[in-house]
Amino acid sequence: MEFSTIALLILSYLIGSIPFALIIGKIFFDIDIRNHGSGNIGTTNTFRILGKKAGIIVLILDFLKGMIPVYIAMLANTELPLILFGLCAALGHVYSIFLKFKGGKAVATGAGVILAVQPLIFLILLTAFLITLYIFKYVSLGSIVGVTTLFILSLFTDDLTLKLVSLLLLIIIIYKHLPNIKRIMNKTEPKVKLF
């Protein structure tokens, strides 16, 4: 593997590691979001703690963390599958070097990766997420349904890398959502009212 490719993989991880929710919370609200709500540095907790505007900004930035590394790798004409650079970004979001290898749940960043490499599949995932959110009002459940849909759809493709990355994202996102699953079962998971 060329040095430039290794450097791009590391850069992708570092981009994914940027904790935008934490940065925005501290700079504009003087709040460490890790000490409030679920303690997660993702979009949903940002909406709940910092409000709609901050939540939308974090959503976009976390989404771009998944897309940008893919496009950089595309421009660099690397020999590796593009989705691997997106995977590095998603891993950076979950295991951020800037947060002692702690982080978010990879949903927004992972979605950005899929949009960059498989736009049609992304639209299907988004639809599954929104339908689930509309019916059950749980963002966490929508996220789990979305990544499960991704893995199922990947099985119908000839792209082995997509299948493996989808499986890894499925494992990570479900694992990170185990507390949410328990709260849903106990009927203590907060619902959202977006519709």
Q: What is the mean pLDDT of the chain?
A: 95
Higher pLDDT, 1 or 91: 91
**Is pLDDT at 130 greater than 90 in this prediction?**
yes
Share of the chain above pLDDT 90, in %: 93
Residue 84 amino acid letter: L
Could you tell me the pTM of the whole model?
0.94
Segment 83-86 long-range contacts (CB within 8 Å, at least 24 positions apart): 83/113, 83/117, 83/161, 83/162, 83/165, 84/9, 84/161, 84/165, 85/8, 85/9, 85/12, 86/12, 86/110, 86/112, 86/113, 86/114, 86/116, 86/117, 86/165
